[in-house]
Amino acid sequence: MKRVCLAICLSALLTAASFARAGQAYFVAPAEIDAADMLPAPPADDSAENKAEIRQLHQIQDRRTPADVAHARADAAERDIFIFKNVLGDRFNAKALPLTAALSAHVEQDGSAEIKPLKHIFHRLRPYQFDKTLHPVCRATMKEDSYPSGHTVSGYLEALVLASMLPEKKDAIFARAADYAHDRLVCGVHHASDLEAGKEIAYALFAVMADNARFEAERRAAEAEVRKTLGLPPRSK
């Protein structure tokens, strides 16, 4: 019996893993949002806007401190709702909040499923590919996939979910999301317009998610878990 259970559980895990690898969404069906039509094209290489963005990256590169780099690298390594632990405290962690961790993973899955095709459609050079005097301090790729910023989608999408559960903390949550996105500039791996596009996608995705019954059920369960763990009273319905 144990062997049968183990085989079934392993099969379920492998199926879930292959589902995630395939880039399929969890709450949002592909036809529910057309981000490629929603977004403007990124600034052309020879445009004034692109040149201004490159100047901005040089300014950030010239001014970034070792502490800035360490902070940006830590943010680059984490893409889940627990990037907000520095806002909510040590009790806000995946071990203490398994339902919240599961919701975060599903939200991240939807963000990734939406963003990956867009990067291939827009095919924008990374800043350091365009300007060889820019030196990234986080993991670099040679893919031409700068637009939109996937980390920014993740940060703002998770922020929207979390703020819906903790509206009294929304100002601090969105300030942290902006900081998380800005770290992609500190890393030297994105342009400002990549971040703007990522934020726009996050808001569009969340609007669709909010109408999904499965999302709302998971969100409500996570909200109860988070508020109890953080010692906050339940919200009145």
Where exactly are the structural domains of the chain? 27-229
Phi, psi (degrees; rounded to nearest 5) at 90: -65, -25
pLDDT tier, 5 (very low <50, low <70, confident <90, very high otherwise)? very low
The matching CATH number, chosen from 3.10.300.10, 3.40.50.720, 1.20.144.10, 1.20.1070.10, for 27-229 is 1.20.144.10
More reliable by pLDDT, 3 or 139: 139
Q: Under a CB-based contact definition with an 8 Å cutoff, are residues 140 and 126 in contact? A: yes
Overall pTM surpassing 0.85 (yes/no): yes
pLDDT beyond 50 at 3 = no
pLDDT reported for residue 23: 56
Q: How many CB atoms lie within 10 A of CB 163?
A: 19
What's the per-residue H, E or C state across 84-123? HHHHHCCCCCCCCCHHHHHHHHHHHHHHHHHHHHHHHHHC
Find the mean pLDDT for residues 30-41: 83
Q: Encode pLDDT of 120-165 as tens digits.
A: 999 999 999 999 999 999 999 999 999 999 999 999 999 999 999 9
Which residue type does 52 have?
A: A
Mean pLDDT of 26-48: 88
Q: Which of 110, 211, 102 is nearest to 157 (CA)?
A: 110
Asked if pLDDT for residue 15 goes beyond 70, the answer is no
Q: Say which residues have a Cβ less than 8 Å from residue 193's Cβ, sequence separation at least 6.
A: 42, 43, 49, 53, 147
Nearest to 166 by CA among 82, 103, 223, 236: 223
